[in-house]
Structure 1
Amino acid sequence: MRSGCVRRSWVRLFSGVAVTAGAAGAFAQPDLANLQEVGSGWSAPLFGVSPPGDRTRFFVVQQGGRIRLVLNGVLQATDFLNVSTLLAPTPGTVSLTGCFDTDCNSSTPCTTATQSFT
């Protein structure tokens, strides 16, 4: 995966996500005045990302192998991607992370996903 291929967008996701004090210091903190709610009803969201230059699609990666799509500000009813049945059960946290290739365009979907265990 190339570094810098993800343009992260900070969002406020109301889902009871807890951030531990130790992990919070390792990441840049968002400017709370510029956060924007993008939906509700999330199940363990990890982060959100948009393809470079695309302001119509916003993907929310959730624990357990689900990616939800917010299209033009509307959360889609079905998962964009659900690989939960392909993930090995583990006693820790399983997360699906990904990024968009900088050469990605609308006619060729390009995503890279990895599974990590903690």
Structure 2
Amino acid sequence: MTDWIDIGDMHAVPARGARCVNTPNGKIAVFRTADNQVFAMDNRCPHKGGPLAEGIVHGASVTCPLHNWVFDLATGEAQGADEGKVRTYPVQVVNGRILIAPDVLMLVAAE
């Protein structure tokens, strides 16, 4: 696998919050949980296109700010009665830096 791309300091993403990474084909939301787990997924709710980075992070889930749909940050699956899925992306934290694989950015750009 090729080298991962550094997309920022973990502490630039607030605990229980998110920041966005711009790609040629849209935004990827990068989330940090209260226990410092980091996840990445499309920043668009499949229900009404709500900006997930503006949602509420609780545990390992995020609630869409528009209509309260809840998504698992690890799998992207909607929880509860809601149906749908958000594409997730692999990230890792090394020495406090958030890294994403370059093929992820190319995949998003190619679609």
TM-score in terms of structure 1 length = 0.30
Q: Report 1 or 2 for greater relative contact order, CA contacts < 8 Å, sequence distance ≥ 6.
A: 2
Give the structure-2-normalised TM-score: 0.31
Question: Greater helix share, 1 or 2?
Answer: 2
